[in-house]
Structure 1
Amino acid sequence: MVQEKNDGMNKDVALPPVQQNRPALSWELKIKKKLTIVPPSLGKFRPVVGQCCHQCTPDSLRKKLGQNNFLGFRNLLSVNETQTRYRGWLVRRMCCALFVSGCKVYASPVSNRLERVCQSNRYLRGKRRRRDARGGVKEALTAEQKAPEGGDSRGHLNRLSPFLPLIKTCISPGLLRVVGWVMLKMFASVLGSIQVNLNHLSALHKVSQEGSLLVYVYVRQSLMDCALIPLVLLCHNLRVPYTVCPLQVYSSSLRSILQKVGVVLLPPSALTEQEAEMDSLYSPVMTALVRELLHEGQTISVGVSAESGRGGQWLARIRQLIKEGSVPDVSLVPVGISYDCVPKANVQVGLSTVLQWLWSLLWRTPGGSVRIHLAQPFSLKEMCESGRCRVDEWLPLQDLLLPVILNNRADSVLGRRRLSWLLPSSHYASEPEEPTHPERDLSITIILHLIFSATSSMAVMSTSLVSSLLLYKHRKGVSASVLCRDVAWLTEELLFRNKDVGFGGSLAEVVHYSLSLLAPYLVIAAVPSRKDPFIVPRPSLAATLHLDLHAQIVTHTFILEAVGACAVSAMLCEVASSGVSSRVRSDGVDGEEVRGDMEFDVVLCQSELTERALQLCHLLPPGVMPPCQLPQSFALDAVDSLVRCGILIMEEIPRDVPICDFWKKEGTLTWTTTDDPYHSDSDCEEQDLRSYKISQPSQCPEMLFFLCSMLAGHLRSLCWTTTALDLIDTPLPEAEFVAQIHSHLCDTADKKKQHYESCSVEAAHTAVRTLIDLGVLSEERQRRGVVLGVSSLFQLSENRQKLHRFISQYLYN
């Protein structure tokens, strides 16, 4: 953490104006008189976020050491005459247009790009550098037309006609400035502020001046992501990137405008990226386009998704170009984008949709803010060729967990879970042959590392903080004063974990502002008999999913503690069900509420607790665990984190013989040779045994269940999906199977009238993909697509029940 300087740079870091036209929130002044607390540390110190990984890219990290001065934030929407070269009354009314016109825009030549793409071949690097036509555009065209190489060029151009607009994508300086001015005006009508962290901008300027190629990577959340990154770079005089947009745009005029400001769209014939990848020419053309853009010195912006794995193929193409030697190196820049309110994005965008949206902005009051963190750039070549990113321990999930689930093994197989679905297979990428496992796993490691880095760079907004408290701690409602107290506590915990927050001001303003934005998804009851209002999340699917979407960043921050808490809960449930200790009261949990005082008088073994945490790590969705850390190391840290936060207390096991006693029970000494590397100095020394007890403070059970509930939604969706296997007739196409699973999740939540966070579309996709990796579902590739069916091993109801018991042990209720 670095001390925050009071140099005037942070004058724009303020809450947007609170909407005062909501009658349900008229209690704000009452709370402000009672609680005018500013959370400690906030305003004095701010965490340093976005630094390179010290394990994978130490050389890139070393370049930034000693430059941790806090430079503050800049609000992009706060444009005044001081940011122009002119002064005066007229300038104050035209300052936005003058500011954009003064921004530096780099040229983008596209003179002979089409010819270079058509003639592109693959380079292979070895002792003798040579060309290889495999996977090149020229070879793909020749193989498709069954003509000799160098055949009919007119036929080649006809086949490439759907990709010609994509290849000719360019950046027009004049049009870019006009679009930048329009976006500033448009965002000013939608948002209260766009705060940009200035810490790593100087490093980006330095790397750009050195001639390094920059690739910006962000986690997909909304269509607004694609517009925010180019706008930020334009306003800070950095090269505007070519942005990969995964949406389909039907309007020809809108497509033409976007392609002239550097937006790489999907082909008109494809609705989704998956459909585009099925074209045999799409992957070679896009790989050649990326190569030519990097040869021209352009930058690229790519969005990745942890749930579907889409977007990772662009990073795999860049890595392949570096491996072949056609591109020397690129600097990857993770970008963390945090929203107060995540805007909804349409999959298909037309001119009428854009016009309707712009018209609605005229009658809308600005609300919400965005926080953008540009992380420190690091070398992709260093990450790949240094050997620090090891992929030799990647194993299928069924090899890691099936022995534990079916055979009741006490220990798990050590290794990392292989997530091959994060990259499209050769069936979709049209590659001539499947890459070897180490190469594919290394590309997946890079994708996971960037997802984790971009998510770690995100600031926690006030709506995320309040949403997590309402979902995970106060599901049945909470008074405003208690909510304010918990907001202050959780803010300190976030800052303690080196997580930046995207809000400021007094505690009452923070809580009132977040509740104003979340009001459509809450029930706020204010009656004269109560001193402060009562707040309850609406028990509906839309409201719960909206709150869960905001709360995911808090779960990412507390993932260590959440894994450890679920492991403790699993052991406590096992002890309670066995009846060993009557002082463990399993009936103390009723749904989400803890009734009375709970007493945990049980000793937990460290090895068994770590083993439970390790098994749970393999079930986590991708992107929440650092891929450069071994799962067993992560499990040990998860247990240690519970000691640090006071849930567990380390207890020494009493020994009959002190450890320092060198005599064995037999009364003789055992001597060993000095060159034996497997023995310590004293062969009589026993292994250091550790155990833990649950601490007894009154808030400990509440904290334990708060952490357990962070992973309950994901684990519950896995349990419900396992149950659904008895109700679905298989085999089915993958899309239809996922749709039926999603329908079953929604029906189950409707019957229970709760747990709606477990029935999102992303939860259904993640659960199905986990069962495929686990060997529960088998994949069969056919011409019409992938068909899913229940494997022969899990057609037995006994094995499905074992799987259900294994997953449900981590659900505390």
Structure 2
Amino acid sequence: IATMLESRLQTKLRSSPNGRETSLWSSGFRMKLESVTPFLGKYRPFVGCCCQTSTPKSWESLFHRGIRDLGFCNVILVKEENTRFRGWLVRRLCYFLWSLEQHIPPCQDAPQKIMESTGVPGGAGEGQVPDLVKKEVQCILGHIQAPPCPFLVRLFSWALLPFLNCVFLNVQLHKGQMKMVHKAAQAGSPLVLLSTHKTFLDGILLPFVLFSQGLGLPAPCLIRLCPMSHRALLRKPGGLFLPSEANLSLDSSEGLLARAVVQAASVPLGLWTGALAVLRSLCSHLGCSRQICSQVHLAQPFSLQEYTISARSCWGSRQTLEQLLQPIVLGQCAAVPDTEKEQEWTPITGPLLALKEEDQLLVRRLSHHVLSASVANSAVMSTAIMATLLLFKHQKLLGEFTWLTEEILLRGFDVGFSGQLRSLLQHTLSLLRAHVALLRIRQGDLLVVPRPGPGLTHLARLSAELLPVFLSEAVGACAVWGLLVGRVPPQGPWELQGIELLSQKELYRQILLLMHLLLQDLLLLQPCQSSYCYCQEVLDWLIQCGLLVAEETPGSRAACGRKLWGAVLTPTCPLQLSQQLRCPDFFLFLCRLLSPLLKAFAQAAAFLRQGQLPDTESGYTKQLFEFLQATAQEEGIFECVDPKLAISAIWTFRDLGVLQQMPSPAGPRLHQCSTFARRDNQEKLEQFIWQFICS
């Protein structure tokens, strides 16, 4: 289909009214259809590996060596082989027999367990629990739980199987990931499961997957607002409900005992709490039955005990962003300090306040590891790829969609789609129909045009899902642009290919500057990874993908850019822009992935001249967002109109010392730093950001 479209695309490639390139899409009658698969060769990428630096023993003991050969299984497909029996009657009753054979862990003595909890006054060996406290605990337990009924648990499991088979075509689970979780469970230590909850379906899918695989059930779901009729039905399967009068907010002193009881009451059979509400929500999906596929990814388990020991040894000297970057922004110095950036945005409230400062830091850095694993576990959807192509590339939708899918898989990320290319594109465009215009210009040909305004904003939000996949290359490409920004001819940076030499030391500096400017939550830089290691990783990726090549000196062996790793480079080894034909287009694509965030930062710097301060953080965020909206209407930069980008800009400027948070009787308020109240320093900040933006 790509061959047949080549001539058409060359002659019919047009520009949309807002200046964006668009492409034509043929219906492809009587042509062999190209298929898009979520794997390369016969292997699918394995996602969610734990960090080898902070948990090396967990990697050695829990990682499954033959992981790529194990494939996937459909957990909702229950056959005769899943039971101990055989025969025609068994095949008709296999769901029922399967539910009878599932292991249900025994329910422990909940009142005694709660009395021994550290959260209850007098518990955990502190002394005899007063009789009054015992009575209150019994009263609270009477509100929130009832003895679970194993029969109803099995009945729920049996009813759920045919229901899930009606809703889903399949629910895939990686066998290798499941083997690793089983191996961790056999070690004897309790498993702590952290769910990212991508959709509301996870509330019913994840417990079912764990229950069906013999891993027991997770901690109970706590539902506060639920009709009494639902509570009466759901208590028997082990439902756990909060009393209506209990105040469980972290900043409230009321309901202290109720919060302690709820935290201590691990009734593992509370799986089906809220099941009716979930089933009611799923009824709307029955119209598209047998068309929905689901995939559950489980990250590689690791030992929390090992992490707490090894993570402390990775802590080095750190400085604030203000100390690292502000002197360079203002032109007071040129060298980047040889230290790490200190940036911890996890709110220190509630339970964290009871921990020591060192333990608080440990929890915050653990959250960065969890965030990195959750992003690696998130499959890229076809809408994100289509939005990225329409915004930043989209010369040929058919060919580029396949290319971008393969690039995602090559980088170890999974994709959540497969099928015939033309049908897949049709389905994706139908999902985006509110944000793109499909214009039929002649029989069999469609013109795809992003809608201006909110349509571009929505496409930019979807395209941000691809940023973690190409993040290292995008940071490197923007750093290269910043290095060449003063010497780039009007034709573009690739006019310098094969001529201009790039200093490896200067490129390192540019990568460090941009890395410090970006939020740590965006970079997904793990706390045990140094910034200089990240710089080397970025440089390695730029060489591997062919954007940069090492300059060959006389007497040295020729080196292929794709196979040359940073370890081979010497600190003085000069680099050149590659002369491959595809590189300029790929370079601009990488730069544009970061452009929405960087342009939001640049516009936030321009807004310093007219923002009304002092103000609360939420109030100033609203001011900045309204400014982004107004600027988008004037300049057509709708990709920056996102409240999340406004928040990121304010957080970065607060770290940088541009904004200062000061206490006041009405609460903390943002003030403008006296240094950046000057017009010339505001312009220096804006120019510093614009050097990384590819115009």
TM superposition score category, shorter chain reference: 0.7 to 0.9
The answer to whether the 8 Å contact 2:436/2:450 transfers is yes
Between the aligned partners of 1:784 and 1:105, the Cα distance in structure 2 is 53
Select the residue among 536, 547, 557 that pairs with 2:469.
Answer: 557
Which structure has more helix as a fraction of its residues?
2
Match in the other structure for 2:18 = none
3-state SS of 2:330 partner: helix
Match in the other structure for 1:769 = 651
Match in the other structure for 2:179 = 202
Between the aligned partners of 1:366 and 1:731, the Cα distance in structure 2 is 56
Select the residue among 42, 45, 48 that pairs with 2:46.
Answer: 48
Q: Counterpart amino acid of 2:508?
A: T
* Superposed counterparts of 1:587-606, under 5 Å: 600=497, 601-606=499-504
Structure 1 gap segments, 5+ residues each:
1-26, 124-129, 139-148, 302-348, 577-583, 590-596, 660-686
Match in the other structure for 2:479 = 567
Cα separation, partners in 2 of 1:209 and 1:733, compared to 1, 3 Å: same
The answer to whether the 8 Å contact 1:254/1:351 transfers is no
Tell me how far 1:403 sits from its aligned partner.
Answer: 1.9
Match in the other structure for 1:278 = 251
The answer to whether the 8 Å contact 1:391/1:442 transfers is no
Cα separation, partners in 2 of 1:368 and 1:76, compared to 1, 3 Å: same
The answer to whether the 8 Å contact 2:383/2:462 transfers is yes
Match in the other structure for 1:223 = 200
Q: Counterpart amino acid of 1:431?
A: L
The answer to whether the 8 Å contact 1:523/1:537 transfers is yes
Match in the other structure for 2:452 = 539
3-state SS of 2:581 partner: coil
Cα separation, partners in 2 of 1:744 and 1:66, compared to 1, 3 Å: same
Select the residue among 393, 399, 417 that pairs with 1:473.
Answer: 393
The answer to whether the 8 Å contact 1:214/1:299 transfers is no
3-state SS of 2:646 partner: helix
Match in the other structure for 1:809 = 691
Please give the TM-score of this superposition, normalised by the length of structure 2.
Answer: 0.80
Moved more, 511-520 or 401-410: 511-520
* Superposed counterparts of 1:404-803, under 5 Å: 404-422=328-346, 424-426=347-349, 428-429=350-351, 431=353, 435-436=356-357, 438-474=358-394, 478=395, 482-528=396-442, 532-541=445-454, 543-544=455-456, 546-576=458-488, 584-585=489-490, 600=497, 601-621=499-519, 622=521, 624-627=523-526, 628-652=528-552, 688-756=571-639, 758-781=640-663, 785-803=667-685
Between the aligned partners of 1:170 and 1:692, the Cα distance in structure 2 is 70
* Residue deviations 1:66-87 (CA, integer Å, cap 9, x gap): 3435222123444455545667
Tell me how far 1:750 sits from its aligned partner.
Answer: 3.7
3-state SS of 2:249 partner: helix
Cα separation, partners in 2 of 1:208 and 1:171, compared to 1, 3 Å: farther
Cα separation, partners in 2 of 1:779 and 1:190, compared to 1, 3 Å: farther
Tell me how far 1:173 sits from its aligned partner.
Answer: 4.2
Structure 2 gap segments, 5+ residues each:
1-24, 557-569
Cα separation, partners in 2 of 1:78 and 1:151, compared to 1, 3 Å: closer
The answer to whether the 8 Å contact 1:217/1:454 transfers is no
Between the aligned partners of 1:406 and 1:251, the Cα distance in structure 2 is 60
Cα separation, partners in 2 of 1:805 and 1:368, compared to 1, 3 Å: farther
Between the aligned partners of 1:487 and 1:762, the Cα distance in structure 2 is 27
Select the residue among 34, 40, 45 that pairs with 1:36.
Answer: 34
* Residue deviations 1:463-499 (CA, integer Å, cap 9, x gap): 333333233322xxx5xxx222122222332232233
3-state SS of 2:59 partner: helix
3-state SS of 2:173 partner: strand
Tell me how far 1:725 sits from its aligned partner.
Answer: 3.5
User: Do residues 369 (structure 1) and 293 (structure 2) align?
Assistant: yes
The answer to whether the 8 Å contact 1:467/1:547 transfers is yes
Match in the other structure for 2:319 = 395
Tell me how far 1:256 sits from its aligned partner.
Answer: 7.2
Tell me how far 1:213 sits from its aligned partner.
Answer: 0.9
Tell me how far 1:380 sits from its aligned partner.
Answer: 0.6
Cα separation, partners in 2 of 1:267 and 1:564, compared to 1, 3 Å: farther
User: Do residues 66 (structure 1) and 65 (structure 2) align?
Assistant: yes
Q: Counterpart amino acid of 1:492?
A: E
* Residue deviations 1:294-344 (CA, integer Å, cap 9, x gap): xx9x6999xxxxxxxxxxxxxxxxxxxxxxxxxxxxxxxxxxxxxxxxxxx
Match in the other structure for 1:236 = 213
3-state SS of 1:711 partner: helix
Tell me how far 1:199 sits from its aligned partner.
Answer: 1.0
Cα separation, partners in 2 of 1:498 and 1:173, compared to 1, 3 Å: same
- Provide the aligned C-alpha RMSD in A: 4.4
Between the aligned partners of 2:246 and 2:483, the Cα distance in structure 1 is 50
Please give the TM-score of this superposition, normalised by the length of structure 1.
Answer: 0.69
3-state SS of 2:624 partner: helix
Q: Counterpart amino acid of 2:669?
A: V
Tell me how far 1:446 sits from its aligned partner.
Answer: 0.8
Tell me how far 1:550 sits from its aligned partner.
Answer: 4.2
Between the aligned partners of 1:604 and 1:466, the Cα distance in structure 2 is 34
Cα separation, partners in 2 of 1:407 and 1:37, compared to 1, 3 Å: same
The answer to whether the 8 Å contact 2:239/2:269 transfers is no
Match in the other structure for 1:7 = none
Cα separation, partners in 2 of 1:623 and 1:504, compared to 1, 3 Å: same
Tell me how far 1:197 sits from its aligned partner.
Answer: 1.4
Tell me how far 1:59 sits from its aligned partner.
Answer: 0.7
Between the aligned partners of 1:762 and 1:269, the Cα distance in structure 2 is 35
Between the aligned partners of 1:540 and 1:170, the Cα distance in structure 2 is 55
Between the aligned partners of 1:119 and 1:219, the Cα distance in structure 2 is 27
The answer to whether the 8 Å contact 2:595/2:693 transfers is yes
The answer to whether the 8 Å contact 2:180/2:300 transfers is yes
Q: Counterpart amino acid of 2:673?
A: S
Between the aligned partners of 2:185 and 2:517, the Cα distance in structure 1 is 40
Tell me how far 1:717 sits from its aligned partner.
Answer: 2.2
3-state SS of 1:747 partner: helix
Between the aligned partners of 2:165 and 2:70, the Cα distance in structure 1 is 24
Q: Counterpart amino acid of 2:448?
A: I
Corresponding residue pairs, total: 654
The answer to whether the 8 Å contact 2:71/2:175 transfers is yes
Cα separation, partners in 2 of 1:119 and 1:501, compared to 1, 3 Å: closer
Cα separation, partners in 2 of 1:169 and 1:353, compared to 1, 3 Å: closer
3-state SS of 1:218 partner: coil
3-state SS of 2:295 partner: strand
Between the aligned partners of 2:282 and 2:27, the Cα distance in structure 1 is 35
Match in the other structure for 1:309 = none
Tell me how far 1:517 sits from its aligned partner.
Answer: 3.8
* Superposed counterparts of 1:70-219, under 5 Å: 70-80=69-79, 83-84=82-83, 96=95, 99-109=98-108, 110-117=110-117, 120=120, 153=132, 157=136, 173-180=150-157, 191-219=168-196
Between the aligned partners of 1:540 and 1:169, the Cα distance in structure 2 is 53
Between the aligned partners of 1:414 and 1:264, the Cα distance in structure 2 is 52
Tell me how far 1:449 sits from its aligned partner.
Answer: 0.7
The answer to whether the 8 Å contact 1:117/1:292 transfers is no
Between the aligned partners of 1:739 and 1:265, the Cα distance in structure 2 is 37
The answer to whether the 8 Å contact 2:144/2:241 transfers is no
Cα separation, partners in 2 of 1:620 and 1:745, compared to 1, 3 Å: same
Q: Counterpart amino acid of 2:112?
A: N
